[in-house]
Amino acid sequence: MSDTPILTITGLRAKVADEDIDILTGLDLTLQPGEIHAIMGPNGSGKSTLAKVLAGHPDYEVTAGEIVFQGTSIHDLEPDERARAGVFLAFQYPAEVPGVSIANFLRAALQARLEKDEEVDLFDFQDLLLERMELLDMDPSFAERPVNDGFSGGEKKRNEILQMAVLRPALALMDETDSGLDIDALQIVAHGVNTLRAENPEMTILLITHYQRLLNYIKPDVVHVMVNGRIVRSGGPEVALELEEQGYADWKTQEVVPA
Amino acid sequence: MPENELVEGFGLDEYQYGFVDEEAHVFRTRPGLDEDIVRQISKHKDEPEWMLEFRLKALKIYESKPMPNWGGNLSDLEATLDEIYFYVKPQDQMERSWDDVPDNIKNTFEKLGIPEAEQKLLAGVGAQYESEMVYHSLKEEWSSKGVIFDSIEDGLKNHPELFREHFATVVPTADNKFAALNSAVWSGGSFVYIPKGVELETPLQAYFRVNQERMGQFERTLIILDEGAHAHYIEGCTAPVYSTDSFHSGVIEIILKQDSRFRYTTIQNWSNNMYNLVTQRAVVEQNATMEWLDGNLGSKLTMKYPSCYLVGEGAHGEIMSIAYASDGQHQDTGGKVVHVAPNTTSSIISKSISKGSGRSSYRGLCKVYEGATNARSNVECDALLINETSRTDTYPYIEIEEKSASVGHEATVSKVGDAQLFYLMSRGLSQEEAMALIVRGFIEPIAKELPLEYAVELNRLIELEMEGSVG
């Protein structure tokens, strides 16, 4: 492992912009390049908030602490600047964009990464898209469909993985990617993530999940337990198995009594 | 006359084609309108007596009709009309070949991309510069098929009987105040006749351009499709930016005989001080199909409702429109379908976008007369609001006299959503790029019907319009 972390979060506190109470309450987290970390926690623990804050969602405000991505603070960066720097958020609930095909959307996303006077070559793009879809065992006609418009839950998540495959982020944040998926869809999505990871072992992944079952398919290096806006335990894959057996109840109780 | 003043402080958000050529006109009337002006116009065009009589009668009707008190705000228009030139003739004769077109006019066309368009096989370019056709070409094979694609003036001169038989039969002089005005002072426009059974695959294309400050443009177009004929006509408009109000009031009349099929495509991008009041209407006979594809950008106020009168059994009418209202603009647009005969069908799809203080109104009429049995009509109007200050209204008028008719109406209003914006931005698109993509997606069902280069142009215009939409 390299000594320079790709992501370092220290003492992070954050809240919904027009509310008073912090949802993240002093969170520390360090990810080395190529690692897969899982954050598990009960509903309301702040898992999804963490994902949105990292991606720069305008509804959230950082009140303390620091997020350093690839050696630079991203505090002042807009969501699009973070994306172009290499952060990718796979959404729990991806938005629909009627009338815009996945292919056109991805072309616009790649175009946004170029200088003003440069243009995405249409043929190169087609080749790239087809190659990426083949890698993920996807039918090329999928890219002609309007972004998430009328998609099933599984299709939406596959679309997120396809975007990840084309945009090749340095850091992928996967927010409850497993929610709402049946076992078949879950396996397909997990297979996609594993394929991308095998292709690019440097890609760092932060999995945010409520359930252990996703971790049967995507093996994390480190598992964190998050309760009330901070990490309360970190360890190997065994942590997930413990949680599976014992649930979050113990951790919640423990949190009531300050350490 | 005042100096040409370009409106200050516009980026491309305001107007892309705001260049001004040195004016080179041979003759123009004094500002304002009276009987003498109308006589001068007719004399200069060397018209037959009946047309002069027609114009003079139209002038009386125009003067007798009050300004419309519905639609947009026309309160400043009366004063504007006193100041504009109703007729400007830039050149003495029609030009046949591109080489003969004067350089400054050619420059204008080049800035608009006309020659390239022609090179791309968009044959049959008839471009209107100010009030006359100055450049006009028609493929030889079309001539051999008997297709007529002339300036409206040449149509009157060279095909007097065909002209007189159909002229003002679709839009009668007394139809509305501005149709009457156009009938009095019309100048320029196209005359098209497609003979029986002739199917044209390449679109007929005209480009309109108003270049002179305070000049009204009153183009008149008459298109006749004989039985079983098929054709597509494309008209695009751009006007340069001037500081005083400008005025455009065209009349388009289309006659579709039995089994014919026609599409009329317009993308109008007027400068934002323009009043654009247009009457465009088609009479659709038995089993014929009329399609209006109408895009309205720019202008101060546009009032425009392409219409289909379905008078023959099994006739079909379709109106697809896009309106884009930016700051200070009002697009009052929509469509009218009138079912007169049995088994007639129609559909209206209207998409409007309002940005900043822009206002778009959908105004539509669906009328089914008694005896138009089994008439079917469907109206869908969707509005997209970009900012909190943007406004949209819907005025659907539905008049059904026939019990067996089936009429559907669906209206939606949506806002560019924060969730959509964040999603697109999280993929690296700037907020403006994200907005433009959402708008492009919104109009896609209609934009995909456009010829490719027009769709590309429209997308580009919308991207330019989105600059400065944020914050």
Q: Which of A58-67, A109-118, B332-341 has the lowest mean pLDDT?
A: A109-118
- Tens of pLDDT, residue by residue over B39-49, are 999 998 999 99
Decide if pLDDT at B27 tops 90.
Answer: no
The pLDDT value recorded for residue B24 is 58
Contacts of B194 by beta carbon, 8 Å cutoff, 6+ apart: B147, B200, B224, B225, B226, B229, B230, B231, B260
pLDDT mean across residues, chain A:
91
* Residue of chain B minimizing CA distance to A54: B426
Nearest-angstrom CA–CA distance, A203 and A199? 9
The pLDDT value recorded for residue B72 is 87
Nearest to A109 among B428, B442, B445 (CB): B428
Identify the CA nearest to B331 among candidates B310, B302, B305: B302
Average pLDDT over residues B25-43: 83
- Tens of pLDDT, residue by residue over A13-60, are 999 998 999 999 999 999 999 999 999 998 889 999 999 999 999 999
Cβ contact (<8 Å) for B428 and A100?
no
Decide if pLDDT at B467 tops 80.
Answer: no
The confidence band for B340, taking pLDDT boundaries of 50, 70 and 90, is very high
Average pLDDT over residues B395-415: 93
* Residue of chain A minimizing CA distance to B444: A99
Nearest-angstrom CA–CA distance, B338 and B368? 6
The confidence band for B14, taking pLDDT boundaries of 50, 70 and 90, is very low
Decide if pLDDT at B32 tops 50.
Answer: yes
- Tens of pLDDT, residue by residue over B374-386, are 999 999 999 999 9
- Tens of pLDDT, residue by residue over B407-417, are 999 999 988 88
Average pLDDT over residues A51-71: 96
The pLDDT value recorded for residue B238 is 54
The confidence band for B121, taking pLDDT boundaries of 50, 70 and 90, is very low
pLDDT mean across residues, chain B:
82
The confidence band for B354, taking pLDDT boundaries of 50, 70 and 90, is very high
Distances B156 to B50, B96, B150, B174, B230 between C-alpha atoms, Å: 11, 18, 9, 21, 23
Side-chain-side CA neighbours of B260 within 13 Å: the count stands at: 30
Cβ contact (<8 Å) for B437 and A89?
no
Domain boundaries along the sequence of chain B: 27-421
- Tens of pLDDT, residue by residue over A201-226, are 999 999 999 888 899 999 999 999 99
Nearest-angstrom CA–CA distance, B65 and A93? 57
Higher pLDDT, B172 or B6: B172
Average pLDDT over residues A119-136: 92
Nearest-angstrom CA–CA distance, B207 and B222? 16
Angle of helix A183-199 relative to helix A153-167, nearest 10 degrees?
0
**For residue B424, which residues of chain A lie inside 8 Å, CB to CB?**
95, 97, 105
Cβ contact (<8 Å) for B428 and A113?
yes
**For residue A94, which residues of chain B lie inside 8 Å, CB to CB?**
423
Can you tell me the ipTM of this complex?
0.94
Cβ contact (<8 Å) for A79 and B425?
yes
Q: What percent of chain B has pLDDT over 90?
A: 54
* Residue of chain B minimizing CA distance to A160: B427
> Which residues in B188-219 are b (16+ Cβ under 10 Å) and which e?
bbbbbbbeeebebeebbbbbbbbbbbbbbbbb
The pLDDT value recorded for residue B211 is 44
The confidence band for B451, taking pLDDT boundaries of 50, 70 and 90, is confident
- Tens of pLDDT, residue by residue over B77-99, are 887 788 777 777 654 444 445 55
* C-alpha A243: how far from chain center: 21
Q: What percent of chain B has pLDDT over 70?
A: 77
**For residue B466, which residues of chain A lie inside 8 Å, CB to CB?**
none
Distance from CA of A129 to the nearest CA of B (A): 16
The pLDDT value recorded for residue B111 is 53
- Chain A residues with a Cβ under 8 Å from any Cβ in chain B: 55-59, 78-80, 82-84, 88-89, 91, 94-100, 104-105, 108-109, 112-113, 146-147, 163, 167
* Residue of chain A minimizing CA distance to B435: A97
Higher pLDDT, B257 or B34: B257
**For residue A56, which residues of chain B lie inside 8 Å, CB to CB?**
426
Quick one: residue A3, left, alpha or beta (phi over 0 = left, psi -120 to 50 = alpha)? alpha
The pLDDT value recorded for residue B74 is 87
* C-alpha A153: how far from chain center: 17
Cβ contact (<8 Å) for B428 and A163?
no
Cβ contact (<8 Å) for A105 and B423?
no
Side-chain-side CA neighbours of A81 within 13 Å: the count stands at: 9
Domains plus CATH for chain A?
A: 7-94+169-256 (3.40.50.300)
Q: Which of A10-14, B27-31, B253-257, B418-422 has the lowest mean pLDDT?
A: B27-31
* Residue of chain A minimizing CA distance to B442: A99
The confidence band for B26, taking pLDDT boundaries of 50, 70 and 90, is low
Decide if pLDDT at B215 tops 50.
Answer: no
Phi and psi angles of residue B160, each rounded to the nearest 5 degrees, phi first: -60, -40
Radius of gyration over alpha carbons of chain A, in Å? Answer: 18
What is the DSSP pairing of strand B27-28 with strand B88-89? antiparallel
> Which residues in A177-203 are b (16+ Cβ under 10 Å) and which e?
bbbebeeebbebbbebbeebbeeeeeb
Encoded tokens for B399: 């008049």
The pLDDT value recorded for residue A49 is 96
The pLDDT value recorded for residue B25 is 60
Residue with tokens 């089936």: B406
